[in-house]
Amino acid sequence: MKKILLSFVAALMMFGSRADEGMWIPSLIGKNYEEMLRLGLKLSKEDLYDINHSSLKDAILQFGGGCTAEMISGNGLLLTNHHCGYDAIATLSTVERNLLDNGFWAHNLNEELPAQGVTALFLQRMEDITDQVKAALGNATGEEFSKKFEAISKEIEEKYAEKGKYVANVRSFFNGNQFFLIIYKRYTDVRLVGTPPKSLGKYGGDTDNWMWPRHTSDFSMFRVYADENNQPKPYSATNVPYHPKKYLPISIRGEREGDYAMIFGYPGRTNRYEVSYGVDLAVNVTNPSIVACRDLRLGIMRRHMDMNKGTYLQLTSLYSRIANYWKYFIGQTEQLKRLNVVEKKMKNEDDFSKWERENNIDVGLLGNFAKIYADYRPYAKHSVYYSEGFRASAVARVAGALKPLYDAYERNSTRKTKMSEDTVKKFVDQARMAYRANMKEFDPGTEKDMLAEMTELYYNNVPKEQLPDIYAKVIFKKGKSDSKATYTNYANYIFTNSFLIDSNKFNAFCKAPSFEKLKKDAAFQYAYSFVSNYSKNYQPKIEAFSIKKADLSREYMRQLMQEKKYRNMYPDANSTMRITYGKVAGYEPQDAVHYNYFTTLDGLIAKYKPGSDEFDAPKELITLYNMKDYGRYADRDGTIHTCFMTTNDITGGNSGSPVMNAYGELTGAAFDGNWEAMSGDIAFDKKYKRTIVCDIRYILFLIDKMGHANNLIQEMDIRE
């Protein structure tokens, strides 16, 4: 009897530590409510999502277009991740006033700094419009489907945007089997309030990224401003703090293993209904190609960033974004292999085919998938090297943007006609926009090496018969294909024979554009060869594959939903608001190894390496640690908990998402996933999947004790 009881308890513990799959649509959360109650939720469905009254969804916003944030006071104060605010912080930094390295705390509203380009998007409501959209689509497939969907989306969005009052999006769910209209308000006056030094905000750097244990204080704070009526208004000195319908109270009671955990946020993209052929391509072709390009790109950038602080500040945000997903694709490939995801997908597809036969459905879906992937595979590597290799160069991107102007000149030359001034101006204005967008990342030394080494990498990896003609016509006339000097000399040649390298020369060209001058430009000749080769010979094949795949995926999903009609299914993430729920839990990454669910400041100090780029820490923190001056933010055991883990289901875009307890109180900010579950965007793993969270008590400790920003502490609703 005792053995039976112990086995039962062990089974309960195992079940309780499993990850909780699902990114659920808030307006439909009623389907999951009983399960949420069973796990410990103490709120009503209306507390979670209500279009008529304030609810938790009103405290959550999409931050900067790619992250999540949460309101934590009635005066527009928000919390998000440090890496979400990184670009804004770096942009506001100078060598003389380096907010990124030194941290920053505004001790009153007048000290807060405008974060140009940062937006705050607040969800107003979601509405299922599937019937309306499907009526407009009819039986359309392929390009016709895309055109009709674009047309009906534009019509609906223009109607509900109310001439710019709202942002209206029509979004597709379940691969085009369900459609929602989503209404937002966008606020553009967002100001930096506080950030810890980069040494803490990125503590552990690339080494600890996607890893546990973790000690990163990945948070930053901003404030949303509005006009006197609480409505969106561009930056103005007369604007006042935004007053949200809802903001989150904060709990410093501390989390315990098994406690209920809930996350609201804007997860970016998952592809969990991908077929085995797509996973196999990712593992063996696309992911390794992305990693190779980014590995080289990061090495080039790091060399130049280490040599010059100004270059470091200029490129650090871009470097951080590239590095994050460089390691992500390494981890995803490793875990897809370790978990035998291709084989498991194939088994599921066999079961699906059996269901088709049993239900007299014979459309040959999986056979059609096999064919389109086989046809696409020879060009998949080229597609990656074009986007990740050729387009890694800022000069290449800007030069490529001049191709429409060149094509227009060429057409008129053939016809022996003259282009109108308006047409010339249109293309020149497009080039100016591309120049402004891309050349902010232009550092001459970095760019010259990027051109040389990426051109060499492209040649060595793309099938020879697919290469652009610039290699044979120009590059190899300057040396051998296996000589690094060949590519270095060619990059030098571009830099001395292009008006794109000098902004004054570029502006002079824009004022008096010339077909002859454009044709002779070395950077344009380089880019034109790559872009023309790709757009003429390979882009049509890639687009045809995408269109066919979209049609097959839509039908496959329709049938899957029919096959699993008694199962509560969730759609793939698509940057719309979702709810996930689970528990606080550790895990066992391998035999005989157990990871506790939290880390402490003791662990940070154990990793501390003075002067290290990844594991240094401010002297103020070391002093506070030595004095054990933790205030009310210490755990019951007397330590500062830095991070903890939950079983929630998240992905990119959830960065900055609030982690809440059973009462809807903020307990931390989600910022990462764990290495053993990096297959999660394609295949969710219930055993290993974890969300890594920065403990709110550590955040408050740094704001209070290091930042001395008691003004911020006082405006929050902190519950002990």
Active site residue 83: yes
User: Please, what are the domains in the chain?
Assistant: 6-119+188-272+573-719 (2.40.10.120), 122-186 (no CATH)
Choice among 83, 215, 304, 641 that is catalytic: 83
Q: Is the CB of residue 644 less than 8 Å from the CB of residue 718?
A: no
> From CA 484, how far away is CA 506, in angstroms rounded?
29
Note the maximum CA span of the chain.
Answer: 96
Instruction: Tell me the one-letter amino acid at 701.
Output: F
Nearest to 120 by CA among 242, 238, 19, 218: 242
Express each pLDDT in 419-459 by its tens digit: 888 899 999 999 999 999 998 889 999 999 999 999 999 99
The model carries a pTM of 0.94
Active site residue 655: yes
Contacts 24+ apart (CB under 8 A), 555-562: 555/363, 555/365, 556/175, 556/273, 556/275, 556/365, 556/369, 557/174, 557/175, 557/176, 557/177, 557/273, 558/177, 559/352, 559/356, 559/361, 559/365, 560/273, 560/352, 561/174, 561/177
Express each pLDDT in 499-514 by its tens digit: 999 999 999 999 999 9
> From CA 98, how far away is CA 100, in angstroms rounded?
5
> From CA 671, how far away is CA 280, in angstroms rounded?
29
**Residue 6, SS3?**
helix
> From CA 285, how far away is CA 229, in angstroms rounded?
54
CA atoms 66, 72, 74, 75: torsion sign: negative
| Count of all residues that appear for the chain in the document | 720
Confidence of residue 479 (pLDDT cuts 50, 70, 90): confident
Tell me what the mean pLDDT of segment 397-406 comes to: 95
**Residue 558, SS3?**
helix
> From CA 457, how far away is CA 466, in angstroms rounded?
14
Side-chain half-sphere exposure of 354, counting CA atoms within 13 A: 6
Choice among 20, 87, 189, 218 that is catalytic: 218
- Helices 484-496 & 522-537 angle (0-180, nearest 10): 110
Choice among 383, 655, 657, 679 that is catalytic: 655
> From CA 109, how far away is CA 187, in angstroms rounded?
18
Q: Inform me whether the pLDDT recorded for 602 exceeds 60.
A: yes
Confidence of residue 18 (pLDDT cuts 50, 70, 90): low
Which ranges of 359-483 would DSSP assign to H, the alpha helix? Answer: 365-388, 394-400, 403-415, 421-439, 444-461, 470-473
**Whole-number Cα distances in Å, 526 to 50, 151, 385, 397, 444:** 55, 37, 15, 11, 17
Backbone angles phi, psi at 256, to 5 degrees: -125, 150
Confidence (pLDDT) at 361: 84
Confidence of residue 4 (pLDDT cuts 50, 70, 90): very low
Q: Inform me whether the pLDDT recorded for 119 exceeds 80.
A: yes
